[in-house]
A and B are shown apart, each in its own frame.
Chain A
Amino acid sequence: GAGVSQSPSNKVTEKGKDVELRCDPISGHTALYWYRQSLGQGLEFLIYFQGNSAPDKSGLPSDRFSAERTGGSVSTLTIQRTQQEDSAVYLCASSFGLGFYNSPLHFGNGTRLTVT
């Protein structure tokens, strides 16, 4: 596709359920980032991938959060046993390389997660 695609766009789930969020980056982009944005707040870094490797997982809030990337393309962010404080918009971004070197960062429209 022409841009970063995230699915679903909206997800409502019951507390305690597991959810899986998907990100399809721009073709050829090796770097992929996941961020979380709570209502009215700034971006909270979760994790980034260089290829299929995740060198920095320091932003994951708890061990209920995990992410993987396969084939250097699609990434999934999984939240187990969801809690109400997990409610937020989850944003994915990709670029040709790490940082902004020679390549701007492109964002998807996000997945709005609501935990009831």
Chain B
Amino acid sequence: KQEVTQIPAALSVPEGENLVLNCSFTDSAIYNLQWFRQDPGKGLTSLLLIQSSQREQTSGRLNASLDKSSGRSTLYIAASQPGDSATYLCAFDSNYQLIWGAGTKLIIKP
């Protein structure tokens, strides 16, 4: 059974730091990966989509990588800002089933 683990479950860092959020999965037969953020009381906002043939995607201060051989994806946030505070979730699609991590709650302290 495919499982997705996000580590850490919560993270608090000072503003300006670079940070990495981790997402690991048990089955390399995944197709595509998407990272989302969720603000309190809101739905999920798509951040980055990495298709199976790709290894990474970048958008502004965000960079996401996908390494299927090691069963891992990372979300790198550069020069963190208080507005980055949110819960970050990763999800994979595997044969059209979407498998979700439980999320990392990120707090950026001013």
Write the residues of chain A forming the contact surface with B, with a CB cutoff of 8 angstroms: 4, 6, 33, 42-43, 45, 56, 91, 93, 98-110, 112
A42 contacts B100, C-beta separation under 8 Å: yes
Q: A66 CB to closest chain B CB, in angstroms?
A: 21
Q: CB within 8 A of B31: which of A42, A101, A105?
A: A101
B102's contact among A4, A42, A108, by CB below 8 Å, is which? A42
| Chain B interfacial positions (CB closer than 8 Å to A) | 31-34, 36, 41-46, 49, 51, 89, 91, 93, 95-98, 100-103
Q: Of all chain A residues, which has the CB nearest B31?
A: A99
Q: Is chain B's binding surface mostly helix, strand, loop or mixed?
A: strand
Q: Output the least CB separation between B82 and chain A (Å).
A: 22
Once A91-B44, A99-B93, A110-B43 are accepted as A-B contacts, the answer to whether A104 and B103 lie under 8 Å apart by CB is no
Q: Are B46 and A104 in contact (CB under 8 A)?
A: yes
- Give A87 to B42 CA distance when docked, in angstroms: 16
Q: Which of B33, B43, B98, B101 contacts A91 (CB 8 A)?
A: B43
Bound-complex Cα distance A91 to B98 (A): 14
The distance in angstroms between the C-alpha atoms of A42 and B100, with both chains bound, is: 8
A/B interface sample: 16 pairs, CB < 8 A: A42-B89, A42-B100, A43-B100, A56-B97, A91-B44, A98-B96, A99-B97, A100-B31, A100-B34, A101-B31, A105-B34, A106-B46, A107-B45, A108-B43, A109-B42, A110-B42
